[in-house]
Structure 1
Amino acid sequence: MSYDNIEEKGRMSYFPAFLKLDDKKVLIVGGGRIACEKLGHLLDFTSNISIIAVELSDEMSGIIQSRHLHFEKRGYQKGDIKDFAIVIVAIDNIPLQAEIFQESKEYSCLCNCVDSSEYCDFIFPSYLKKDDLTIAVSTSGASPAVAKQLKKYLQRLIPSDIGEFLQEMKKLRESLPKGKERMKMLETKAQDYFNNRSSKWM
């Protein structure tokens, strides 16, 4: 697709990227069902998460306690996001969403306000995770329902032993010298792995 065609659509699609969260602090504002859903997604990738909320659902309270996450029982205050790389705003207060989003620009903090795309630097894609494999699906907001069903479809295609195979490939990459021969051997091995399982998908 050309750049001209992208501009003609009126907006650009979201850029797919996998963020390394090892050294990044995440803040969730809110303690209801949606906040709990976002917390569950984030915990697949990091535990460096803090929560600020006036009230917590029983489920979210249980997760916070079991995972020993930092929680402050109060409303959001200006400046709360200054030490965070990412903030998830899961509250119904739209004016406060807008306020936090604007404030996030002062601190170069990535912001996601649930159900308010105009106040989002990024979105949560529908994804599936199996060991080292992560597959994310997005329709750029056009149809979350389609993304959800496509995720289920892809899940049925993933071989049950993919985790073991990825560990084997990882060890080979680490043990073999870099170069075209290693690249060719690993590509052939990956191709053979899926060819040997393709009959199960037909």
Structure 2
Amino acid sequence: MSNDKKPYFPLFVDLNEKQIVVVGAGTIAKRRIRTLVSFTNHLTVIAPEVNRELLDMEKAGMLRIKRKNYEREDIYDADYVIAATNDHQINSDIYSACKCMGITVNVCSDKTKCDFYFPGIVQNGNVVIGVTASGSDHKEARKTVEKIRSLFPEEELK
């Protein structure tokens, strides 16, 4: 068998009843949160400070915010964790804790510490298309997502 690195397999997962925790509320965290709220009703954000957009999402019942610094107990009940702080040590600690507890984790700042990648998403009703370049070429993946979006009339896209 060849040792060539294979591309990532597109695996679609039902997140409806999964507990998802996002640690952090910066630019990358917000991008992940905006994507995830369409797929789960059990999203918790852990951050000492959050902006108006996330507060509005909380008011709308789309997520829960714990305004605090991360502690390991915050992820005990999680099925998936996104480590998106601006502190590499905290992100690394989250990764280690998740690996010990068997929690699927994505460390936004380190692709070697990701059990999964976030795809570019095109959604048309219940049809969801995910695009990835297996973590290697984000610009090419983004161009492909835009090409796919152009195939749908704007009013059909979510």
- Normalised by the size of structure 2, how large is the TM-score? 0.90
Structural mapping, 1:70-89, within 5 Å: 70-89=64-83
Q: How many residues align?
A: 157
Q: Supply the distance in 2 between the matched residues of 1:145 and 1:51 (Cα, whole angstroms).
A: 28
Q: Tell me the residue number matched to 2:8.
A: 14
- Check conservation: 1:113, 1:120, Cα contact below 8 A: yes
Q: Tell me the residue number matched to 2:37.
A: 43
CA positional deviation for 1:105 = 1.5
1:118 to 105, 112, 116: 112
Alignment-mate amino acid for residue 19 of structure 1: V
Alignment of 1:34 with 2:33, yes or no, is: no
Question: Over the residues paired in the alignment, what is the CA RMSD in angstroms?
Answer: 2.0
Task: Quote the sequence identity (%).
Answer: 26
154-163 or 12-21: which moved more? 154-163
CA positional deviation for 1:106 = 2.2
Could you list the runs of 4 or more consecutive aligned residues of structure 1 that deviate by over 6 angstroms after TM superposition?
159-163
Alignment-mate amino acid for residue 138 of structure 1: T
Structure number, greater radius of gyration: 1
Q: Supply the distance in 2 between the matched residues of 1:12 and 1:67 (Cα, whole angstroms).
A: 40
Q: Supply the distance in 1 between the matched residues of 2:72 and 2:133 (Cα, whole angstroms).
A: 33
Q: Tell me the residue number matched to 1:180.
A: none
- Normalised by the size of structure 1, how large is the TM-score? 0.71
Alignment of 1:96 with 2:90, yes or no, is: yes
- Check conservation: 1:53, 1:76, Cα contact below 8 A: yes
Higher helix share: 1
Q: Supply the distance in 1 between the matched residues of 2:45 and 2:155 (Cα, whole angstroms).
A: 36
Q: Gapped runs of 5+ residues in structure 1?
A: 164-202
Q: Supply the distance in 1 between the matched residues of 2:127 and 2:62 (Cα, whole angstroms).
A: 26
Q: Tell me the residue number matched to 1:129.
A: 123
Alignment-mate amino acid for residue 137 of structure 1: V
